[in-house]
A and B are shown apart, each in its own frame.
Chain A
């Protein structure tokens, strides 16, 4: 066995019209945590898919523990001890933890054609101990929290250790995206302790996480490996520069453009309650103000946002828009009151991916393109082109389906849709999720610009830093209740710790 457990040598992969990976190298030593960073489209996911056998490379070799291998399926990858913890989890919610851990590998428990549940229980417990997770093997996966399910998935991957008699090579694809701060800490803690018995490839958008966790880091850009660094010898700004080819500005969240909101209250939420989700939620949103909601999963902040958007109907309370009480529990009512919702799940709730940009923009309000009672396709296309121009949306053509746009450009279409409907209040639920670094800054810039035009925001940000950086005022939430109001003026931003103490 050589120095490396996994080697990727000169791998190239082309898809019609594009070279997704161009002569890429990557190597992982035993018990090493290797970071992989790059913007969307840099080739990270193509490489991961090659590693787990979902794609076959056009050129180049894969070596596992010094031996050349061909991986044609996830199963074959697992037989080599190589497995991935997926960003959008792969556990089956209707099965128990133990069944999920050994799904597809039940042979060892089968006697006379039936499963020996006791043995499976014991074995499952052993795998769960590896990740120090205290959960019953018989618990239904659907009843577990996201972060817990992720740990179960990690335990499933660690079970390869016994199957293959080798330390597993674990790929973690953006594992922190939907985790809260304390859950991330816990995950990192587990990853560090697993380091003794596994090698890890860690993919993340968050450079700070890469710096904290990894031993070495690879930077991909446009299908090429542009650099590999020993983590202790690099910095966030260097990595950022390598990834996007430009330097990270000190003014990431555009704080200098933060305005002091007007006195005028545009939205007043009074005594809003929904059983089991949030209780007695009150808020005054001023013209041009950005209010950030901070809280862990289960704090109720998502539900508050979805209530304002009209998707959840509250049990009690009211929402006043410019002093007028509005009907709750109907998206069209909220939209008519000037509220635009930018949902977390952009591809499902934000956009109709199988429609082009124009029809997406006009979906909430077709009236502007209806001429003499009939829908004018010409007017719609012109409207689309106007917004493509104004928002600098990168698209092959105005007719392209939104499916074919990158995350950042899709988000711009969502924002255009609401701006075209002339909303005055934005509810932003993780607006920069799955958006690459360069496009994030464009979104921040846009939010500032809109705020200065008098548009107000209710924001759930991707990270605490983002919450603090963008907001005028932060409401911390815990178990459905607002715990603290924290002012965040541009010259006196609070520290993450100031927030966390009210969130836990």
Chain B
């Protein structure tokens, strides 16, 4: 009886939530291609993909955190810090600068994850603190001035900015990251445990899963991918800056949630985030096409996040919202 009711309800909501993001994307694409015949041209679409790649890399990391039922708010300044590390080290150390940028991500993630788990501080607060920390550090070490990489070093960034078979390399990088995160999510212990923690942490703990270790790993993965997106941005912008990833936090969370990963954890995955990124990219183009004030676009993404959560949240699981 009531069991089957719940079953029906879940089946219904799940189907709905499953289909919604893709349906939204298709509808948006149709609207766009009617509004502008140029929209569906391959060159335009490829440009879109290149733009979306950096956001996808960041969103993929955040997917694991949200899937776990946590949140990481520090990704944008971590990306900015990575871009600064790259810009500072590139002239002297060459390719090693990119590794240093990624290494910074590993460190930042380990720090947030450790504070969150060992000091038993909610991830929301731990990562909010980290956001403040890295923003501050980024402004101080750059003296609030962007660091530019001289053009004679631009050969070092070709692995990102160059093209292969007519497609910008950054797209291939994003695809490789997607592949790796997909395997991590679907076919490894780590992915399974992340999902289990999000769906029911206590039972997962009683089953002997080392919760803290998995959580720290997830935060390291997320911050490292945030740092990678910072590295990608630094190559594109030929420099590093404390403001490099401004606006990315909102969008990175938007792509995860718009894709259909539940904010309450346990449901979702990286493929959904791909759909989320595509939606955001189409929206971006659309808003520019219709002349929406670029500053106001943030407000629209803020509204979209709330709307997406309102439509997808399973209120039977969260009876009280705080």
In the bound complex, residues from chain A placing their C-beta under 8 Å from that of B4 are: 15-18, 404
Question: Which of B202, B206, B210 is the most central at the interface, judged by chain A CB atoms within 10 Å of its CB?
Answer: B206
Restricting to A12-41, which residues have a CB under 8 Å from any CB of B?
15-20, 41
Taking the closest CB of chain A, its distance from the CB of B1, in whole angstroms, is 4
A404 touching B7 by the CB < 8 A rule?
yes
Produce 1/0 per residue, B163-204, CB < 8 A to A: 000000000000000000001001111011001100110111
Decide yes or no whether A142 CB sits under 8 A from chain B: no
Given known contacts A403-B10, A404-B10, A332 and B210 CB-to-CB distance under 8 angstroms: yes
A350 touching B203 by the CB < 8 A rule?
yes
A374 touching B208 by the CB < 8 A rule?
no
Find B203's partner among A19, A336, A351 (CB 8 Å cutoff): A351
Question: Which of A311, A332, A336, A363 is the most central at the interface, judged by chain B CB atoms within 10 Å of its CB?
Answer: A363
B207 touching A363 by the CB < 8 A rule?
yes
A430 CA / B145 CA spacing, docked (Å): 64
Question: Which of A15, A46, A362 is the most central at the interface, judged by chain B CB atoms within 10 Å of its CB?
Answer: A15
Taking the closest CB of chain B, its distance from the CB of A419, in whole angstroms, is 13
A401 touching B1 by the CB < 8 A rule?
no
Q: Which of A158-166, A341-349, A482-490 is found at the contact surface with chain B? A: A341-349
Taking the closest CB of chain B, its distance from the CB of A328, in whole angstroms, is 14
Restricting to A163-189, which residues have a CB under 8 Å from any CB of B?
none
B206 touching A350 by the CB < 8 A rule?
yes
In the bound complex, residues from chain A placing their C-beta under 8 Å from that of B195 are: 355, 359
A105 CA / B5 CA spacing, docked (Å): 34
A341 CA / B206 CA spacing, docked (Å): 8
Taking the closest CB of chain B, its distance from the CB of A72, in whole angstroms, is 19
Find B8's partner among A16, A43, A310 (CB 8 Å cutoff): A16
Restricting to B1-58, which residues have a CB under 8 Å from any CB of A?
1-10
Taking the closest CB of chain B, its distance from the CB of A452, in whole angstroms, is 26
A375 CA / B195 CA spacing, docked (Å): 14
Given known contacts A18-B4, A366-B189, A332 and B199 CB-to-CB distance under 8 angstroms: no
Produce 1/0 per residue, A40-61, CB < 8 A to B: 0101011000000000000000
In the bound complex, residues from chain A placing their C-beta under 8 Å from that of B9 are: 16
Decide yes or no whether A104 CB sits under 8 A from chain B: no
B187 touching A374 by the CB < 8 A rule?
yes
**For residue A222, which residue of chain B has the nearest CB?**
B1
Decide yes or no whether B205 CB sits under 8 A from chain A: yes
Taking the closest CB of chain B, its distance from the CB of A44, in whole angstroms, is 10
Taking the closest CB of chain B, its distance from the CB of A447, in whole angstroms, is 20
In the bound complex, residues from chain B placing their C-beta under 8 Å from that of A331 are: 205-208
Q: Which secondary structure characterizes the binding site on chain B?
A: helix
B3 touching A375 by the CB < 8 A rule?
no
A15 touching B1 by the CB < 8 A rule?
yes
Q: Which secondary structure characterizes the binding site on chain A?
A: mixed
A374 touching B202 by the CB < 8 A rule?
no
A363 touching B3 by the CB < 8 A rule?
no
Decide yes or no whether A492 CB sits under 8 A from chain B: no
Restricting to A395-432, which residues have a CB under 8 Å from any CB of B?
396, 400-401, 403-406, 417
In the bound complex, residues from chain B placing their C-beta under 8 Å from that of A370 are: 189
B208 touching A18 by the CB < 8 A rule?
no
A353 touching B199 by the CB < 8 A rule?
yes
**Number of B positions contacting A (CB below 8 A):** 33
Find B188's partner among A45, A352, A375 (CB 8 Å cutoff): A375
In the bound complex, residues from chain A placing their C-beta under 8 Å from that of B208 are: 310, 331-332, 334-336, 364
In the bound complex, residues from chain A placing their C-beta under 8 Å from that of B3 are: 41, 404-406
B192 touching A15 by the CB < 8 A rule?
no
Taking the closest CB of chain A, its distance from the CB of B247, in whole angstroms, is 33
Given known contacts A352-B204, A355-B195, A332 and B2 CB-to-CB distance under 8 angstroms: no
Produce 1/0 per residue, A259-277, CB < 8 A to B: 0000000000000000000
Decide yes or no whether B240 CB sits under 8 A from chain A: no
A352 touching B1 by the CB < 8 A rule?
no
Produce 1/0 per residue, B277-309, CB < 8 A to A: 000000000000000000000000000000000
A354 CA / B9 CA spacing, docked (Å): 14
Decide yes or no whether A309 CB sits under 8 A from chain B: yes
Decide yes or no whether A292 CB sits under 8 A from chain B: no
Decide yes or no whether A223 CB sits under 8 A from chain B: yes
A331 CA / B210 CA spacing, docked (Å): 9
A16 CA / B266 CA spacing, docked (Å): 25
A20 touching B1 by the CB < 8 A rule?
yes
**For residue A362, which residue of chain B has the nearest CB?**
B192
In the bound complex, residues from chain B placing their C-beta under 8 Å from that of A309 are: 206
B5 touching A352 by the CB < 8 A rule?
no
A366 CA / B189 CA spacing, docked (Å): 7
B7 touching A349 by the CB < 8 A rule?
no
Given known contacts A46-B1, A309-B206, A354-B199, A15 and B8 CB-to-CB distance under 8 angstroms: yes
In the bound complex, residues from chain A placing their C-beta under 8 Å from that of B196 are: 352, 355, 359, 363
B7 touching A332 by the CB < 8 A rule?
no
In the bound complex, residues from chain A placing their C-beta under 8 Å from that of B266 are: 352, 354-355
B203 touching A404 by the CB < 8 A rule?
no
Taking the closest CB of chain A, its distance from the CB of B50, in whole angstroms, is 31
Find B1's partner among A18, A335, A362, A375 (CB 8 Å cutoff): A18
In the bound complex, residues from chain A placing their C-beta under 8 Å from that of B203 are: 348-353, 360, 363
**For residue A310, which residue of chain B has the nearest CB?**
B208
A404 CA / B187 CA spacing, docked (Å): 25
A362 CA / B206 CA spacing, docked (Å): 13
**For residue A380, which residue of chain B has the nearest CB?**
B192
A35 CA / B143 CA spacing, docked (Å): 76
A363 touching B209 by the CB < 8 A rule?
yes
Taking the closest CB of chain A, its distance from the CB of B159, in whole angstroms, is 28
A46 touching B7 by the CB < 8 A rule?
no
A377 CA / B185 CA spacing, docked (Å): 12
Taking the closest CB of chain A, its distance from the CB of B72, in whole angstroms, is 22
A336 CA / B209 CA spacing, docked (Å): 11
**For residue B14, which residue of chain A has the nearest CB?**
A401
Question: Which of B4, B191, B203 is the most central at the interface, judged by chain A CB atoms within 10 Å of its CB?
Answer: B203
Find A46's partner among B2, B6, B192 (CB 8 Å cutoff): B2
Taking the closest CB of chain A, its distance from the CB of B203, in whole angstroms, is 5
Decide yes or no whether B128 CB sits under 8 A from chain A: no
| Interchain Cβ contacts under 8 Å between A and B, 13 examples | A16-B9, A18-B1, A46-B2, A309-B206, A343-B206, A350-B203, A350-B206, A351-B203, A355-B196, A363-B207, A375-B187, A396-B7, A403-B10
| Given A331-B207, A349-B202, A352-B203, 5 new contacts (CB under 8 A) | A311-B206, A343-B206, A348-B203, A349-B203, A354-B317
Interface residues of A (CB under 8 A from B): 15-20, 41, 43, 45-46, 223, 309-311, 331-332, 334-336, 341, 343, 348-355, 359-360, 362-364, 366, 370, 374-375, 377, 396, 400-401, 403-406, 417
Q: Which 8 A-B pairs have the closest CB atoms?
A: A352-B200, A15-B5, A332-B208, A354-B199, A374-B187, A335-B208, A20-B1, A363-B207
